Amino acid sequence: MNFRPRVLMFGWEFPPVISGGLGVACLGLCKAMSPLADLKMIIPKSVPDFKIPNIDLIGLNTLTREQLKELFKIEQYVGYGSTHYISSGMQPYGSVGNDEFISQKFYNVYHEDVQPFEIDALYAGDVIKKAIEFSRISVQYGLKQNFDVIHAHDWMTFLPAMELKIKTGKPLVLHVHSTEYDRCGEGSKNWVYDLEKKAMEMADRVITVSRYTGYVCEKYYGIPEYKIKPVHNGVEAINKTIRKRRFDGKLVIFFGRITMQKGPEYFVEAARIVLQHHPDVMFVMAGSGDLHKPLIEKIARYKLGHKFFFPGFLNKQKLNDLLAVTDVYCMPSVSEPFGLSAVEAVQYGIPTIMSKTSGAGEVLSSALKIDFWDTQKLAQYIIASIDYKGLRDEMIEKSDTDLKDITWENTAKKVLSIYNEIIK
């Protein structure tokens, strides 16, 4: 009889409460892991009637005041980090010294005004404070569970995972979908970077969503190679949405967070070049982020506002509707650990262009690859994908082969083998 590990997993976003690829990836992995392991997933916020077979999904927002008081009766949780709350959005974060981060306590658990963990926007306001609140409650919950291994997804969940490893001695697996280096570049030596580095040093294994991200962890965080286990994301099979095109000309799209990391400004500059050759092409930038308004203003200065659409964040159905009428997809990310959106575009048979610093490029031989800053090359590839049917057909044929191996079942089997390496 095969051993079924008991996994205590921590996630930050999870369908239907999602903001991007992290939630989609966590759902895909959990569903594929359910036949292989006993899985309890703790998240900040869940929808009570959202159930997944064979997965115990715990949203801290569903705990009552009485349940919280019961959690804190037995043991007072001493936090691990700094006393400083940094009021900011997703980026940039403030900085604290390493000695302060390691040695000072940043909160006591039990106090009279303890409330259920409720959160409207996962990434709005003081995200660090939200992560701390999540940690102090979920650790107390986790101490009352039976498990063989701890598995945490991205920095927002690393604090409780670290505390439980310290308190229980159980092995710790960190799943790195994105790093502070990806979001902020080499100068990102701040609170979140310190937390990521300390957690990776403490972990028994660090699963990265690509070899590229493994390289980032080794080079910029100093994590030894033996700890790092690249495991590519999977993708669920789809029934393609069928939509009739309501416009003439071609459609080129970008979707994702409109932030420096995703390279949206390079998409705009390439579009400007494309329109000199194909004035009938339309461009869509779906998503939101801090560069949203500046890019709209730039496009207005270029007098190209009539060529761009900004629909904001799209749910799955609306995104599928958009993909059904798209001719070319672009992902010019400065640093992209994986890039599930590229795989989703390939599923629709869309010619896909991505930066060389994208993890999905490791599994998509069909995609055309560029340096993220090379807007001239990006424009040339967009034009070629529009003009040359032979190129499009070849890319689509290759993509069918690529997709056969990009499954969550394959991902889950690799994760299970990593558990087996470290569970005594």
pLDDT tens digits, 27-43? 999 999 999 999 999 99
Q: Over pLDDT 90: what percentage of the chain?
A: 58
286, two tokens: 């779906």
Higher pLDDT, 320 or 377: 377
The residues near 228 (Cβ < 8 Å, ≥ 6 apart) are: 205, 206, 208, 214, 217, 218
Q: Give the mean model confidence (pLDDT) for residues 316-342.
A: 92
User: Percent of the chain beyond pLDDT 70?
Assistant: 87
pLDDT greater than 80 at residue 312: yes
Q: Band of the pLDDT at 19, cuts 50, 70, 90?
A: low
Instruction: Give the per-residue pLDDT at 18.
Output: 66
The neighbour count for residue 387, using CB atoms within 10 Å, is 12
Residue pair 282/313 in contact (Cβ under 8 Å)? The answer is: no
CB 324 within 8 A of CB 348: yes
120-124, 129-133, 312-316, 375-379: segment of lowest average pLDDT: 120-124
Q: Is the predicted pLDDT of residue 402 greater than 50, yes or no?
A: yes
Do residues 150 and 138 make contact, with C-beta atoms less than 8 angstroms apart? Answer: no
Q: Please report which confidence band the pLDDT of residue 397 belongs to, taking 50, 70 and 90 as the band edges.
A: confident
pLDDT on residue 419: 97
Tokens representing 275? 């329109």
- Which whole number is the average pLDDT over 1-6? 81
pLDDT tops 70 at residue 75:
no
Q: What is the pLDDT of residues 104-113, one digit of tens each?
A: 333 333 333 4
| Element spanning 346, H or E | helix 340-347
- At 220-249, the pLDDT tens digits run 999 999 999 999 999 988 777 777 777 788
**pLDDT score recorded for residue 120:** 61
Higher local confidence (pLDDT), 51 or 160: 160
pLDDT (mean) for 336-343: 91
Interval 399-407 mean pLDDT: 89
Query: Does 116 have pLDDT greater than 90?
Result: no
Q: What is the DSSP letter of 20?
A: S
Angle at 89 between CA 85 and CA 93, to 5 degrees: 55
* Chain mean pLDDT for the chain: 85
Q: In the predicted model, is pLDDT for residue 67 greater than 70?
A: yes
Q: Is 65 exposed, middle or buried (0-12, 13-18, 19+ CB in 10 A)?
A: exposed
69 has a pLDDT exceeding 50? yes
Q: What is the pLDDT of residue 246?
A: 74
The stretch 11-36 carries a mean pLDDT of 86
pLDDT of residue 376: 97
More confident: 123 or 359: 359
- Domains belonging to the chain, first-starting first, are 6-234+407-422 (3.40.50.2000), 251-403 (3.40.50.2000)
Q: What is the pLDDT of residue 241?
A: 73
Give tens-digit pLDDT for 350-363: 999 999 999 999 99
